[in-house]
Structure 1
Amino acid sequence: MAMYKVVLADDELMALEGLRLMADWEEEGFEICGMCENGEEALSRILDCRPDLVITDIRMPGMDGLELISRVREAGVCDPLFVILSGYGDFDYARTALRHGVRSYLLKPVMEPEWEATLAKVQRELNERSLRKQQQSRMNELLLSAAIAGSLRGESLEAADKEAAALDRIDEQTPGWRYIHLEGVTEADMQWCRSLELPAGTWFIELYANQAGLASADPDQAGPLARRIHAGLRSRGSRRPVTVGPQVRSWRELAASYAGAADTALRFFFHTDLDGPVDYAQSIPPSFSYDLGSFGIADELMAHVECLREEEAGERMRRLFDRFREERTAPEVVYMVGINLVLRSLEALREMGDSSDLGRDFIALVRSEPKSLHALEESLHAFLLQVMRRIRDHREQDSRHPLTQIERYLQQHFREPLTVKELGEQFFIHPVYLGQAFIKKNGISLLEYVHDLRIEEAKKRLGESEETIRLIAEETGYQHYHHFLKEFEKRTGMKPAAYRQLQQSKG
């Protein structure tokens, strides 16, 4: 805890020594920074050491205590509390002293109880004053930080004209500014940064929900401070990148330093093993590829996922991300490919009646800052493995379901006369429930499903054989030729003869 400074002034040496011995000053939290025998000496010492408390005799040669107080007030260099000592019970002196803001007026000889009460009163006032100064200083720092943050966000500074003027005055005393960028910071990271004791002329900037930084009016200190922040985050287990933007002349140009630091942070996408902060001045600007050819590999990967070929899917995943690394694919293209795979996988699950939210972790990673290519690869691979497990589980459950058994039966017996009633009796399911459940599962009625199977078979035979159309109709399950023609044209948009001619022209 900082000690309060006190100056003692009395033209009588014995009285001055008595003041020194009146209290255990250090124990009481005071440091004597001057013992003066006259007003001139006291004034010089006060202006030099700027004490918190002055205890002075009221009558001294050359300059008395009241003039000393007046001269200190006029100088405006400091604002100490004054305690007056006097051997005169003069009420005029007392009134004048009070007008000068003197806290206590003590008559010599000072009695111990009175002295202790006065010193306790002075201590309370100094403590309250110190607390107010700290609070005001903290408030000023927060207002300056808010003004800088507003400037970086492009907000108007009309409401912060006092803070802007204060920062302009700092501009006059510094060779420039630099911005230290922290991307993807968590609330815990933010809290840790807020607790740091920062060098003078440095402000912690809370820019957005997951972006923060430090604005430094001492460019030479930006590098060491960035290394300190980087080491602190690493010791907390955080892999957030710390980057330093280029030097700018004024705080009003800090947006350029911030932009440079943010661009430098893009290096983290391909390099997660950075052993220190990255300085814009030493960083090669990243260049990215925006080629969309990787979507072809993603299509192959998705096909293997749907067919539950884990080994092949893993190989395509490695090929996909190796291509990203080799071509230095732009992060936004990588996100597009990844999100496309997630959405297609979730759609495949939804078609099985699975409203899974498996993709939330990957989507959250894409939305977070920062993210690395390695982290995206691990997250996407884990997601696709989960998708394949879900698909496998659904298919195993589905294979034992009565409706699946009925579908397999229809695929083998669609050429035979079939009715919902007969199928219900065969599989011990009420016909009404069977019809409703089949539509819910497949989106079409059971009889429409049978017609689809029959027409697909007819199309195949029309394209591969010279059999008559009537024979094909009969052998695919249609007892009435006109019924076959109606269902065929309904599904293909053309008559069977035209379809055969089209297929033969292709062959």
Structure 2
Amino acid sequence: MYKVFLVDDEPLVLEGLRLLVDWKARGFEVCGEARDGEDAFAAILDCRPDLVVTDIRMPVMDGIELIRQARMRADCPAKFILLSGYGEFEYVQSVMRHEAADYLLKPIDTFEFDRVLAKLRIELERERAEEQDAALERKEAAAAALALLVRGEDDPELRRRASAMLGMEEDTDVCVVLAEKGNGNAGTAFVLEEEEAAGRVRLFDDGSGGIGAVIVGKPERFASVLSDLHSRLANQTGDDVWLFVSRWGQGPERLKALHREAAHLRDNRPFAGIEIAQGILMAPQCPSSALYRVPIPDPEAGARLFRLIEAGDADGMAAALDEALERMRANGAGPSVIRAFIADLTVEVNRRYGPFEQPGDLPGPRSVGSSQAAGVRELRARLCRYGRLAAERFDRRRSAVAEAIRIVQEQFRKPLKLQDVAAALGAQPAYLGQLFKKATGETFHQFVHTYRVESAKTLLRRTEMKIAEVARTVGYGDAEDFVRHFKERTGMTPSAYRNPPGRRGWPNR
């Protein structure tokens, strides 16, 4: 809807313009009216209409002078329609080519008025679209210039032009802020209008779906600016948001280093900075080496992680890892210590349960330098991914062993070979044998004999079956073979087990 302002010294004409024209149907709304040019000029500057309909003959200031005065102001781009009588026609023609958009003769013809309004509405829509496109281009150009400075463009002339576009001098105070959703998901891009309040916020694309901002000019209430930025981003996404704030520097030349500093906070959250408010992490104002002492990592942390992996609890493993890292942070551990600790665990998980990656792809035990390029969160994510893969692998191993045990329990009376059981499970015999030994403490064949002996013990105590019959029932074709395995596992013969000293039982058969 476009705003229209009406000016005429005749009250009846004003009333007619207001009531007889269906402005809303034509895409306009009346925002005000005046009875002379001087009052109209003050009101026009205040309400900033898109269209002014004015009489040409008025006291104090006529319509022509009103248009000329308005055209001298850059903040008054309104279009004008002149209303005139027949006697003024030539005068109107001499000035309207440069001053007015159109004119109408009194008395006003409704159909002609509709034609003029329709034409002007098309012009206004085109101009508004062009203005929006130009504003978008300016905004995109400013964001591109800012991204160029943040990247540290090597071309001095490009840097100079970008700095001029953004109004940055060599002594301009600047700091860099990176925003990210609290769950680490950078897939949702933020949208935020720039501020020109205390501490201007200049936005740029951080290249990862997140948003970057440069605050130009150190505000008196810097914490309030950050808090407001954080609140609006959180409200926009409906999710938790983190801000990572660099220290202050001066001039566009410092933007690249400040961006690196903010990215370091983001990638090593929460071990590299100070949380000055909920969800706002800021770089320390003193060297990081002065903030951190090197604590001794919890020696039991790794053992707990491995137990959880082998229990198939990948989520529990991730939670235990976070608890260990939080304890280290509370004890003053800096990012380098945390990275080394995670690197050790990653290599050990890969060695025990992998390989998930080649040794050359791993950060390296106790090698902080080899993991500097990766932040704490990236290394933690890789370790948790390995833990989940290891837990899944253990689940599959347990399932294979459990299925092999079930086959033994159901078929122990028949001849059983590891190769046949492995074939039934679709596994390699050697691999299944290794899993079985690790899970039960016995080889597959030892387990079969143990199960047969345990079954024989029940028959010996509860039935009158002969020894040879018991042997055949539990899967031995040779009674001597049965006696040998029985004695190896119980330390006595089947007969002695059935009739221990001092117990009356069935006679040996």
Structure 1 unaligned blocks of 5 or more: 408-507
The whole-number CA distance in structure 1 between the counterparts of 2:63 and 2:287 is: 67
User: Cα RMSD between the aligned structures?
Assistant: 5.5
Once the two structures are TM-superposed, the CA of residue 317 in structure 1 deviates from its matched residue by 7.8
2:68 maps to amino acid: S
1:112 maps to amino acid: T
Does 2:80 correspond to 1:82?
Answer: yes
Residue in 1 that maps onto 2:280:
278
Does 2:230 correspond to 1:227?
Answer: yes
**What is the total number of aligned residue pairs between the two structures?**
387
C-alpha contact 2:180 2:186 (8 A) present in aligned 1: no
Residue in 2 that maps onto 1:385:
391
Once the two structures are TM-superposed, the CA of residue 153 in structure 1 deviates from its matched residue by 1.3
Residue in 2 that maps onto 1:143:
141
Identity %: 26
The whole-number CA distance in structure 2 between the counterparts of 1:104 and 1:341 is: 79
The TM-score normalised by the length of structure 2 is 0.57
Once the two structures are TM-superposed, the CA of residue 280 in structure 1 deviates from its matched residue by 3.3
- Higher mean Cα deviation, 124-133 or 43-52? 43-52
Once the two structures are TM-superposed, the CA of residue 367 in structure 1 deviates from its matched residue by 8.4
Once the two structures are TM-superposed, the CA of residue 404 in structure 1 deviates from its matched residue by 8.3
1:276 maps to amino acid: Q
1:146 maps to amino acid: A
Cα pair distance change 1:46/1:336, threshold 3 Å: same
- Higher mean Cα deviation, 204-213 or 375-384? 375-384
Alignment of 1:58-73 (within 5 A): 58-61=56-59, 63-73=61-71
The whole-number CA distance in structure 2 between the counterparts of 1:387 and 1:281 is: 41
C-alpha contact 2:273 2:281 (8 A) present in aligned 1: no
Residue in 2 that maps onto 1:244:
245
Residue in 2 that maps onto 1:371:
377
Cα pair distance change 1:274/1:160, threshold 3 Å: closer
Structure 1, residues 148-171: CA drift from partner, whole Å, max 9, x if none?
A: 2221111247447665334218x8
C-alpha contact 1:183 1:369 (8 A) present in aligned 2: no
The whole-number CA distance in structure 2 between the counterparts of 1:292 and 1:281 is: 21
Residue in 2 that maps onto 1:331:
335
Does 2:190 correspond to 1:193?
Answer: yes
C-alpha contact 1:230 1:242 (8 A) present in aligned 2: no
1:223 maps to amino acid: L
Once the two structures are TM-superposed, the CA of residue 278 in structure 1 deviates from its matched residue by 2.6
Structure 1, residues 76-119: CA drift from partner, whole Å, max 9, x if none?
A: 33221111111126664454344215322211111112212222
Structure 1, residues 412-469: CA drift from partner, whole Å, max 9, x if none?
A: xxxxxxxxxxxxxxxxxxxxxxxxxxxxxxxxxxxxxxxxxxxxxxxxxxxxxxxxxx
2:229 maps to amino acid: A
Cα pair distance change 1:246/1:160, threshold 3 Å: closer
Structure 2 unaligned blocks of 5 or more: 365-370, 405-417, 423-427, 435-509
C-alpha contact 1:230 1:277 (8 A) present in aligned 2: no
Alignment of 1:298-309 (within 5 A): none
C-alpha contact 1:7 1:33 (8 A) present in aligned 2: yes
Alignment of 1:288-437 (within 5 A): 324-325=328-329, 328-332=332-336, 334-335=338-339, 338-339=342-343, 342=346, 346=350, 371=377, 378-379=384-385, 381-386=387-392
1:180 maps to amino acid: V
The whole-number CA distance in structure 2 between the counterparts of 1:158 and 1:48 is: 42
Once the two structures are TM-superposed, the CA of residue 335 in structure 1 deviates from its matched residue by 4.1
The whole-number CA distance in structure 2 between the counterparts of 1:69 and 1:132 is: 23
Once the two structures are TM-superposed, the CA of residue 229 in structure 1 deviates from its matched residue by 4.7
Residue in 1 that maps onto 2:483:
none
The whole-number CA distance in structure 2 between the counterparts of 1:355 and 1:281 is: 35
C-alpha contact 1:205 1:214 (8 A) present in aligned 2: yes
Residue in 2 that maps onto 1:116:
114
Residue in 2 that maps onto 1:206:
205
1:268 maps to amino acid: P
Residue in 1 that maps onto 2:270:
268
SS at match of 1:78: coil
Q: As a proportion of its length, which structure holds more helix? A: 1
SS at match of 1:208: coil
Does 2:100 correspond to 1:102?
Answer: yes
C-alpha contact 1:290 1:333 (8 A) present in aligned 2: no
Cα pair distance change 1:14/1:405, threshold 3 Å: closer
Alignment of 1:46-65 (within 5 A): 46-61=44-59, 63-65=61-63
The whole-number CA distance in structure 1 between the counterparts of 2:376 and 2:210 is: 10
Residue in 2 that maps onto 1:130:
128
SS at match of 1:30: strand
Cα pair distance change 1:285/1:18, threshold 3 Å: farther
1:331 maps to amino acid: P
1:126 maps to amino acid: L
Please point out which of 19, 29, 32 is paired with 2:17: 19
SS at match of 2:32: strand
The TM-score normalised by the length of structure 1 is 0.57
Structure 1, residues 177-229: CA drift from partner, whole Å, max 9, x if none?
A: 553322578997564512x4554443332123265322344734522323315
The whole-number CA distance in structure 1 between the counterparts of 2:72 and 2:323 is: 79
1:120 maps to amino acid: A
1:181 maps to amino acid: L
1:385 maps to amino acid: A
Cα pair distance change 1:385/1:147, threshold 3 Å: same
